[in-house]
Structure 1
Amino acid sequence: MKIAIEGCMHGDLDNVYKTIQHHEQIHNTKVDLLLCCGDFQAVRNEKDMDSLSVPIKYREMKSFWKYYSGQEVAPVPTIFIGGNHEASNYLWELYYGGWAATNIYFLGYAGVVKFGNLRIGGLSGIYKGRDYRSGHYERPPYNQSTIKSVYHVREYDVHKLMQLEEPLDIFLSHDWPVGITDYGDSRTLIQQKPFFQEEIEAKTLGSKPAAQLLEKLKPRYWFSAHLHCKFAAAVQHGNDGSVTKFLALDKCGPGKKFLQIIDIESEPGPFEVIYDEEWLAITREFNSVFPLTQRPASFSSAAMDIQESREWVRKKLEERQFKPFEFVKTVSAYNPSQRIFDPIPEIPQNPQTLSLLELLGLPYLLDSSPVTGERTAIPASPVRTDFQTYSEEIPIDDDTDEIEDIPEAEGDNIPQ
């Protein structure tokens, strides 16, 4: 199977797809899947801009709205995770995962799916210690604090991923696992990014939860973005001989190493996204302790009969051939000739999420108030959106980029 991996999308879908098609024409080949490692910016219309965590001067409609509206259809099946520059209101609708547009699948805040016989997992967001043990208390419309904290990784989602026992082929995270620089050419990395040196030496560059997941899950491949540079590594796990090949990529921009095409052994196609039985069983077991306030989850009160839940889930999934529910638009798409002036944001219940929860026999909780547990009231006044002094500002470029081959990780170069 031929897979394209992309770093920070920054909403530039058109450019990424054109680059892939150019590669296909030059090499007379076909890319089967595109994996995006965050900052996807699934902005559907002007209202979503109020939930997009980027400085106001970088707020543009970009091109996702064309795929959401159906004006364009993704030419390559696409799976993505969230980063730290997202229209978080839309991703919250699809917390459990689902089609963000036709042929474009969001893995959820945490999730696992299968594509052909490949098993692909992912964790959205970035790690910030102060929010890690909090529940998912943020709701749209966001203020200047929650528009950032909403994309901070939570222990609840990591804990669910830590329950996985079956092997993973690929894992996606936006920020790097902490310590990954020990397994690659960190000297060259520091030459390119001197300000990384202090964090590398202090073992603080990256995500602690991602490192825990890397140690536990041991996927064949791990792909990341966030730090706006290309970096390859190979992690050997203990004495069992298994190795995780790690690759981080740059943001989409001129001259950036943002796209990689690799071949992964797989069964012959056709390929499609299907639900993962083990993951949905874990989701079913832990939904009863889904933390919806700032208080952390109490995992001790969760039922833990995953095997029984798997058998129950399997019967349900067999009825629909394990296929995810179909894409449904929940808001109007951007229209360049017509502006939206309604200041009151929507918190729609996405039919895909409703259908999945009904399939799993679970209640819908995503519009519950962090305090009362009742449906959230929407204030009439819009949220202030002046983010000129935003400390995590990342400039966004618009031009075409190049493709480079992934260096094969040599076993002799792996630190013992």
Structure 2
Amino acid sequence: MCPPLVTFDPILLTMKLLANFLCVCLALALAHADHHEDHSDLPDRCHGLEMDAAAVNEDGVPYFFKGHFLFKGFDGKAEMSNETFPELDDDHHVGHVDAAFRMHYEDSPTDHDRMFFFLDNKVFSYHEHKLEDGYPKDISEVFPGIPDHLEASVQCPKPECEEDSVIFFKGHDIYHYHVKSKAVDKKEFKTMPNCTSAFRYMGHYYCFHGHMFSKFDQKTGEIQGKYPKEASEFFAKCPKYGDDSDNVERERCSRVHLDAITSDDDGDFYAFRGNYFLHKYAGNHTLTADTIEHAFKEVHNDVDAVFSYHNHLYMIKGEQVFAYKVSDPHTLMEGFPKPIKEELGLDGPIDAAFVCEDHHIAHLIKGQHIYDVELDATPRVATNERPLSLFKKVEGAMCGPKGVNVIVGNHFYHFDSIMLFVAAKSLPDQHTVSIEMFECDH
């Protein structure tokens, strides 16, 4: 307790004022320490968490729920779920979301593009992150025939299901709810584990059980492939994985988007994600995986963009450029790293970069604009700024003899030339990075 200030002695008054000041400082320091301690108690998805629910929002960003916390995307930190969906917790004081999914069926205009959350016997409907009037409602009112206290749910559009449906899970009981007719088909997936959450992503269906997951057939419940697998290895960007983790299998099949990609003068390509990178050899198509720290120790991790030019890899991170001679081991060139502004004539951060064969122009993508940098010029200057109307965010891009592959999320789009990419007004066919670039089988 701080000392009282009642005194008429100037010296004593000064001493007591000083004591009170120190007391207040100590209290603030302790409060800060308590706050810091609470912050350190946030759950870490890289430590084997069992998620309560999973869904994809209207922008395609995965949401994972654990207790009263929410993880956005594959590398977002834990935050309070009531910061994004306040009514979930503030009005009902619930500990966690039982199940969640996004309704994306245009034939159901009143429910299209809604996110549904299930808590005990209630369902919440959100449109553009706002709770709709009249909600929460009883589950039986909105989804007749579906029980309370669900464990998981996932949308299933046609033709993946015979009709636009929602699959609900409770124990081994599976309920296919047909959106248009509101009919319910009850099934039992005997070969499936009990799902604590379920997730449709990139056209595939995943059952999360504990900190593991299995891919399943949405009609039969049959587990497809070698499962279960560790969820954090394929649905989270972690600084380190278990000692028994198969780095090549994880990195080629991860659902986490790449940070950067390039192809060198020999036709080898390098793909970077978090602390790791994949190297694919052109001659024999062999894939290897290693840590960025080991092969490019000055960069450490988290590459923003990369391009290849004259047998060098230019790796962009933050406001710096690192130039490595392609060799074994890779060697950082003298004088690097350098500021992006000094080396390429543009302020960072940069989202993607690429150089096409037989050319000496680096194409830099920053936000929704692309710039050209003449690499043979001194000094180098970013010129020819053009807007990119097709994509809000580009993760990476790579140019080859057949054109440009542009990576957005977990997919890539092929354009026959840089000119067609910049001028395009509609999306070409969508391709899956893990399957079509890295030949992942699941």
What TM-score does the superposition give when structure 2 sets the normalisation length?
Answer: 0.24
Q: Which has the larger radius of gyration?
A: 2
Structure with greater strand share of residues: 2
Structure with greater helix share of residues: 1
What TM-score does the superposition give when structure 1 sets the normalisation length?
Answer: 0.25
Greater RCO (Cα-Cα under 8 Å, separation 6 or more): 1
